[in-house]
Amino acid sequence: MSTLSTPRRPAEPLTCGAEGPVLVGIAPLTFDDVVAVARLDAPVTLDAAALDGVESTRRIIDALASDPAGHYGISTGFGALATTYIDPDRRTQLQRSLIRSHAAGSGPEVEREVVRALMLLRLSTLMSGRTGVRPVVVETYAALLNAGITPVVSEYGSLGCSGDLAPLAACALAVMGEGRVRDATGALIDAAVALDAAGIAPVQLAEKEGLALINGTDGMLGMLVLALADLHVLLQTADVAAALSVEALLGTAAVFAADLQQLRPQLGQGDSAANLRALLSDSPLVASHAGPECTTIQDAYSLRCSPQVHGAARDTAAHAALVASRELASTIDNPVVTLDGRVESNGNFHGAPIAYVLDFLAIAVADVASISERRIDRHLDVSRSKGLPPFLAAEVGVDSGLMIAQYTAAGIVSELKRLAAPASVDSIPSSAMQEDHVSMGWAAARKLRRSIDGLTRVLAIEVMTATRSLDLRAPLQPGPATAAVLGVVRTVVDGPGPDRHLSPEIEAVYDLVRYGSITDAAASVTKGLK
């Protein structure tokens, strides 16, 4: 599994592995390549040898185009119209009509980083030399990415089979100089205007090229890679949040001992427990009740079983990363030009492998948020918080403290449980029953993005709550790692006191979580986190 880096603010420098341009060609893209281009606007360059292969394969398509016998995608219609022969003088119109008709998305705009990811991944497949497009097509795709031109892609339009059709068609439309795009400044303008301003000539598509531009799993794969980058940070943050809660709620670190964890050698669990041991090391708060006088026999599950839940989510992410890495090494098109020069129909565009793991991740995300919310609630309940004031309020009765912050977390967790319902089981037939089983991978990816945002917010509320509890334990002090986290939180949120407007504070800590400031603070003491 490639090392995934913290998502950084757009204005920050490139820090995610690929310094400078990302080379697109024979070697598969890495996770870091996708993050760099999608989020950090890293430029792309095209491998010269791979471009030669693109040109060589195109000669095969040109030869088949002159064959009086029909060849799917070259001289025939598409989908249920695959048996309809198209005369040579109508094929340019055929390709143009294919893209225009398939750019049928609807709904809100998809995020810029998602569109850039799917364009990069489509470019990677085009550069494989297995799709039959001309070099000018790949060069124009690369030019759009490097100019910061982002086609407007709508929320709805992909069933996750036969490719992410409507989203990819919206991108192909921009390559043709049609439709609407966002330029590098974010302005919404006509594609023709944006291309002209960037000195990019629109492409008139030739035989096979329309299909090659839309038959891919690029949208769902791009969102999977971005989700894995986010989860790399969030699952570490979950360990930090749990450590804060264990410490502030006078829990024990003994249950995280290495020998106990080795009795169940699940990899993710072991890594999570190792983080908790490091985070709670040398904590005066933990030591304050570690003697025989402590009457607590066992901590609640939400504290004691944190490594088991967080670890299971880590293992799920590791499996998803394996699937994603295989997909990054794949060539997805239909028909595809084989290494020995055949042009063959296939079903590799079906998104089931990606759709399943996107759904798996949504389940894991919901559960990590769920256990975090239970820890939040323990801080606020005077019957379970071991001496903390009700709702961590400054003046009980007059102040409500963090009561409603827990409501917010609970509402998000309830939403995440609904989003955990799998999209991939909800196939619906299309194209006159020719495409009678689809993956719904795009839908699975869209809901996972919402789920990850929800998890980020729940963890932020736990961090905010637990750090207030730590302050209220004074004069007892937290350990070095949790104290570092407390310190960074106090740069954006004040400590305990009378009630104040909480929404801005939640958003401020949300940004700390999202951009890795919480994990950075902890790792600066522990010398890294697993």
pLDDT tens-digit profile of 239-293? Answer: 999 999 999 999 999 999 999 999 999 999 999 999 999 999 999 999 988 766 6
What integer is the mean pLDDT of 430-443? 76
In one-letter notation, the amino acid at residue 472 is L
Number of Cβ within 10 Å of residue 364's Cβ equals 25
CATH classification for the domain delimited by 224-332+348-424+437-526, as one of 1.20.200.10, 3.40.50.920, 3.30.160.60, 3.40.50.720 = 1.20.200.10
364 neighbors 419 (Cβ within 8 angstroms): no
CA 67 to CA 127: how far, in whole Å? 25
What integer is the mean pLDDT of 377-391? 95
Summary mean pLDDT of the chain: 91
According to the model, what pLDDT value does residue 180 have?
Answer: 98
Tell me the range of 52-66, 95-109, 220-234 where mean pLDDT is highest: 220-234
pLDDT tens-digit profile of 70-88? Answer: 787 788 776 666 777 888 8
CATH 1.20.200.10 residue spans of the chain:
224-332+348-424+437-526
Residue 529 has pLDDT above 60, yes or no: yes
306 neighbors 242 (Cβ within 8 angstroms): yes
What integer is the mean pLDDT of 145-162? 91
Output the pTM of the full model: 0.93
Closest CA to 392 of 466, 447, 329: 466
pLDDT tens-digit profile of 285-319? Answer: 999 887 666 666 688 999 999 999 999 999 999 99
pLDDT tens-digit profile of 336-345? Answer: 899 898 888 8
Number of Cβ within 10 Å of residue 292's Cβ equals 5
What integer is the mean pLDDT of 372-377? 98
Query: Is the model more confident about 21 or about 79?
Result: 21
What integer is the mean pLDDT of 468-495? 97
**What is 22-216's CATH topology?**
Fumarase C; Chain B, domain 1 (1.10.275)
Give catalytic residue positions. Answer: 72
- 69-78, 137-146, 459-468: range with lowest mean pLDDT: 69-78
CATH 1.10.275.10 residue spans of the chain:
22-216
Share of the chain above pLDDT 70, in %: 93
**CB burial string 212-230: b at 16+ within 10 A, e below:** bbbbbbbbbbbbbbbbbbb
Residue 477 has pLDDT above 90, yes or no: yes
Residue 480 has pLDDT above 90, yes or no: yes
